[in-house]
Amino acid sequence: MYVFIARRLLLAIPTLLIISLFVFSLQKLLPGDPVLVMAGEERDPALLELLREKYHLNDPIPMQYAAWIGNAVQGDLGISLRTNQPVVDLIAEKLPVTLQLALMSMSFALLIGIPLGVLAAVKKNTFLDYLTSVLALSGLSVPNFWLGIMLILLVSVKLGWLPASGYQPFFVDPLLSLKTMLMPSFVLGNALAASMMRHTRSAMIGVLSSDYVRTARAKGLSERAVILSHGFRNAVLPIVTLSALLFGELLAGAVLTEQIFTIPGFGKLIVDAVFTRDYAVVQGVVLCTAIGFIGMNLLADVLYVVLNPRMRASM
């Protein structure tokens, strides 16, 4: 087990280096000069030269990359050109927002997707199976931004049940925080629930047609015990690994959803940074989300081994 984890960690290092090189290179291909943005309207040549020297923009690109990645390893992701704050501080400020949104969205996905997937598998080729398939297709097809706008119009404007936008930190006002995050979490979780339902259905259909399930039914066990104890328990493996991967995607930030509901998470942070050519923030946020996504992939691999006795036996 430990050898497997160590091997996966070693594979993650070159992946992160490739991602960092790719992100750094794309930033240099973007049009415009960030120094002109920082200098303001006057654009004094002496000030422009001073800023370029301060941020090492006159150095060759390989030296700029080496300096940036060296500082990143030490926890220094640079200074925001727009706010003059350390990028690490900005990320630490936005990370709890994105984590809360991701956790609540994943909760919706699990609560909706797994029961519907199990129901569709048990009632295979019936009206309920077709209905859940239609719901899953709808969840995959409906754009998040459209669903978010419709929910705001219905739930906030017409009914006045929930705030239309904004964010309140959870530890400041837990109830208001949950209210402000409920709609965006449902919008994101609805799309994930469709994928979760389809994978749960496929896994359950494969398990319910296996020999040991037929044996359990032949022994006279109740259908509830067969489905939950013998069926779902053995089908949960791909569901757990899929959940870890989907959670990694949520950590990358939901740009459109955060923009619609004015949530100050990673998605909004990186959009603002791109528009203002704040290279340090873009690089830092993308690098952190890449680390989070790779970490969730590693967790999915580890969970697969932990939950699968045959994998552990083959190591």
Give the CATH number, domain containing residue 226: 1.10.3720.10
pTM of the model: 0.81
Domains in the chain: how many in total? 1
Alpha helices in 81-163 (DSSP H): 87-122, 127-141, 144-151
| CB hemisphere CA count around 65 (13 angstroms) | 15
Is 7 inside a domain boundary? no
pLDDT above 70 for 109: yes
Is 33 inside a domain boundary? no
Is 59 inside a domain boundary? no
Is 199 inside a domain boundary? yes
Q: What sign for the dihedral angle of Cα 42, 46, 50, 53?
A: positive
The range of the structural domain enclosing residue 234 comes to 94-279+289-307
Q: Coil, strand, or helix at residue 169? A: coil
Kindly state the average pLDDT of the residues 49-78: 79
Is 40 inside a domain boundary? no
- Segment 136-190, tens digit of pLDDT: 888 778 888 888 889 899 988 888 888 888 888 888 888 888 888 999 999 888 8
The pLDDT, as a whole number, for residue 41 is 63
- Per-residue DSSP letter, 86: B
The pLDDT, as a whole number, for residue 16 is 83
